[in-house]
Structure 1
Amino acid sequence: MDSRSSSSGLLPNIAEELSKSANAITQNVLPGTILRLNIGGKSYKIPSEIVLTRRVRSLMTTLITSDHEQRLTMTDAFLEDSQEYYLERNTKITDHVMEYYVTGFLHKPMDACIERFKEELDFWQLDHDNVAPCCSILPAVPKNLHEKEEILRRFSNVAFGDLRRDIYNVLEEPSSGLSAKLFSVFSILFIFSSVAGLILGSMPEFQQDNSQAHFYHLMHLKSTRDFSNKPQKFVPVQEVDNATSSFTYKPTDDPALFLIVMEYICITWFTVEYLLRLVIAPQKRIFLFDTVNLIDLCTILPFYMEMGFGWFGMNMHDRLHTITGAMLVIRVLRVLRMARVFKLARYSTGLQIFGHTLRSSLTELSMLGMFLLTGIVFFSTLIYFLEKDEPGTEFYSIPSACWWCVVTMTTIGYGDSIPKTTLGKVIATSASVCGIIVLAFPISMIVEKFACAQQKAHEEAQVRQAHMAAVAQHYFNNRFARRRKACKEDLAASVRAKLNGTSPERANGSVKSIA
């Protein structure tokens, strides 16, 4: 027969009370004593010396130093057949707890919920500080929460702190409320609209003068197709030459009016959003040098710089095309427009994790760069000396061979440069195989870091939800404490009235008079 003890929910409290008395008799434990436990159907034999050398005050220590009667109060049952004390706990996490007493390192199972893991640590009375550094998620997550709380606390020392804190939650915390979610949705829509307008503005069909758009396509068909062997529906080469001899088209110089209006609206939204974030920021210097805010600045700065050229009387469509340096600046500014795509990182956890992964993988990336550089120099030199004397060769210098080697080692293979000799083809095959091997090792480590960072982000979200639930529960407990007390008094009065045969008002009055 199994003798059952009290509810397992009281076990940690009972063990904590008994641990004080257990410390006094730790010295009296006989060497070689083995504690037999059956946890979730799995048997464990724990030597007393291992437990006592790891931690003096824990549930395991209390079980080791207690007698049979005390152990019955701390366990769920006693199995007389196997002489084991039974506990209904999770065996996966228990295995790691037992390993801690043997090795001194406490690791968290990869597939275990962080809240479930914390419950097991609390049951075994193990501090979170005992978790190994490689699994030190538990201390790091509250630190992240404290950092956010510290940011919100800074608003108490600035003017209009409450208002600025509310605006901060709307702008920076999309999950803080309905208004924050709506704001994030509008921001994402403006980002996609701006990028779509930039893409459409490069197409000849979406220019203010789109009458020559078909000539633009014919000009490119002329350079990529052979019209002499095509059906009659294709325009002959001579006709294309005559039609496009005096035609010059600049794809992004004069987009349609609705694209310009959409660009102005999006830039206005981005500008107001950036200035609003800057105004409410409690520490302006930290705000200005934050990565996400620098991206926001790069999305709006090119627009105003191009507008500034017009204010100074410089026509970009005519005069600046004759100035090489100025056109280079204009092209750089237009390329910077695409930085607005990275504004999505503010609302995408995946992009944020990817950025953190790249920063933490600088060692692997530098190693990858060194491997590629060594292979590129080696194989490009070989292919140059093997192919340079061939007629019509594309490998007329080592730098030109380096371009071919980069394309080959990264397994892209454009096909613009092809080795003609047999030895050159052997070298090309070797370069391709070496490129696969070189890319495999660092990329696998980076992918592993990304998976770990994603797991940590998932656990942080779980802890954040638990933290918010605890705060809400604490608020409601304090907010409606008097109302619940009044309800309990009324309920107790009605119960006493039924038992005593009196009216609830008289019973309630007697309770209040006693109180």
Structure 2
Amino acid sequence: MWTVPKPRYRSDASAEEEEVTVNIGGVRVVLFGDVLMRYPESRLAELATCSTQNSELISSLCDDFDPSRNEFYFDRDPDAFKCIVDVYYFDEIHIKNGICPICFIKEMEFWKIDQSVLDECCKSYLSEKEEELTEIANKVKVILEDMDVDRCVTRTQRCQRFMWRLMEKPDSSLPARIVAIASFLSILVSAVVMCVSTIPELQVTNVEGKQVENPTLEGIETACMLWFTAEFALRLASSPNKLRFVLSFMNIIDFMAIMPF
């Protein structure tokens, strides 16, 4: 059993000074009511102010209650609780080594402690872990999509799923990355050619004596537009939700860009 020390700011006795004994996963902890009331919205503060005769309220706050020992039982992680209880004394929480930060956030939510009390290093560490989990979730999503392709009934459905991933999911395969890089380079080349073609020194004179676009640059621009048109058509044909695809703002912009050509 361990006891949270009484804070030095206590000046007078009150009803909130009563000891509150909790059992966290087999570890008995003695807390003080005036300490817990520093965060009145927390679960422990609610426990300190509730009546032991109100069994319905107690059952909503803890997992079990032993009236003979006046002890509240919680089936929670005692190591995480040792970190969380620091907030009542130090106004700050530090996640100790060996504790999963994502699980720790769940513990904070259970004890009704806001994440703003985490120290800055823990907030940064938590953000990194969330990014890692997001990346893993995206990879799992791709794997599940691959499994869906295998379960497709017809060859047409399998080809449609394959084409959609190829055109829209650069992280799904090496060919999809190559397509994404080719699309980016096509946009870059098209923009450069469009600017360069306006330079008088690079233009040529036609039979009528007028300055016109260099045929080489015009051919490059035409090739880029053919790529954009083919890419847009393949994305539309393979889209699992064509109405959503057509109404997408970015797809409308792509369509307006290729229409003049």
Does 2:221 match 1:263?
A: yes
Q: 1:298 to 1:55 in 2, by over 3 A?
A: farther
Q: Which residue is 1:204 aligned to? A: 200
Equivalent of 2:236, from 278, 297, 308? 278
Bigger strand share: 2
| Structure 1 unaligned blocks of 5 or more | 1-30, 38-42, 77-86, 119-136, 211-248, 304-515
Q: 1:278 to 1:113 in 2, by over 3 A?
A: same
Q: 1:103 to 1:159 in 2, by over 3 A?
A: same
Matches within 5 A, 1:74-473: 89=98, 100=109, 103=112, 105=114, 110-113=123-126, 116=129, 156=152, 160-209=156-205, 254-303=212-261
CA distance in 1, matches of 2:61, 2:182: 55
SS at match of 1:65: strand
Contact 1:171/1:180, CA 8 A, preserved across alignment: yes
Contact 1:201/1:255, CA 8 A, preserved across alignment: yes
SS at match of 2:204: coil
Q: 1:88 to 1:195 in 2, by over 3 A?
A: closer
**Count of residues paired in the alignment:** 190
Contact 1:168/1:280, CA 8 A, preserved across alignment: yes
CA distance in 1, matches of 2:236, 2:193: 27
Give 1:291 deviation, angstroms.
Answer: 2.0
TM-score (norm 1): 0.29
Give 1:288 deviation, angstroms.
Answer: 1.3
SS at match of 2:259: helix
Contact 1:170/1:183, CA 8 A, preserved across alignment: yes
Give 1:195 deviation, angstroms.
Answer: 0.6
Contact 2:202/2:214, CA 8 A, preserved across alignment: yes
SS at match of 1:160: helix
Give 1:258 deviation, angstroms.
Answer: 0.7
Q: 1:206 to 1:150 in 2, by over 3 A?
A: same
Name which one, 1 or 2, has greater alpha-carbon Rg: 1
Equivalent of 2:20, from 4, 12, 33? 33
TM-score (norm 2): 0.52
Give 1:273 deviation, angstroms.
Answer: 0.9
Contact 2:101/2:126, CA 8 A, preserved across alignment: no
CA distance in 2, matches of 1:169, 1:50: 52
* Counterpart residue type for residue 213 of structure 2: P
* Counterpart residue type for residue 33 of structure 1: V
| Structure 2 unaligned blocks of 5 or more | 1-17, 37-43, 48-57, 65-70, 81-95
Deviations for 1:368-418, whole angstroms, at most 9, x for unmatched residues?
xxxxxxxxxxxxxxxxxxxxxxxxxxxxxxxxxxxxxxxxxxxxxxxxxxx
Give 1:104 deviation, angstroms.
Answer: 5.7
SS at match of 2:213: coil
CA distance in 2, matches of 1:198, 1:102: 61
Q: 1:208 to 1:176 in 2, by over 3 A?
A: same
Equivalent of 1:65, from 60, 73, 76? 73
Higher relative contact order (CA 8 A, sep 6+): 2
Deviations for 1:218-263, whole angstroms, at most 9, x for unmatched residues?
xxxxxxxxxxxxxxxxxxxxxxxxxxxxxxx8xxx72111111101
CA distance in 1, matches of 2:114, 2:60: 10
Bigger helix share: 1
Q: 1:287 to 1:88 in 2, by over 3 A?
A: closer
CA distance in 2, matches of 1:152, 1:294: 31
SS at match of 1:33: strand
CA distance in 2, matches of 1:94, 1:45: 23
Give 1:292 deviation, angstroms.
Answer: 2.3
Give 1:35 deviation, angstroms.
Answer: 4.8
Contact 2:19/2:31, CA 8 A, preserved across alignment: no
CA distance in 2, matches of 1:278, 1:142: 26
Q: 1:147 to 1:160 in 2, by over 3 A?
A: same
* Counterpart residue type for residue 167 of structure 1: M
CA distance in 2, matches of 1:182, 1:268: 17
SS at match of 1:273: helix
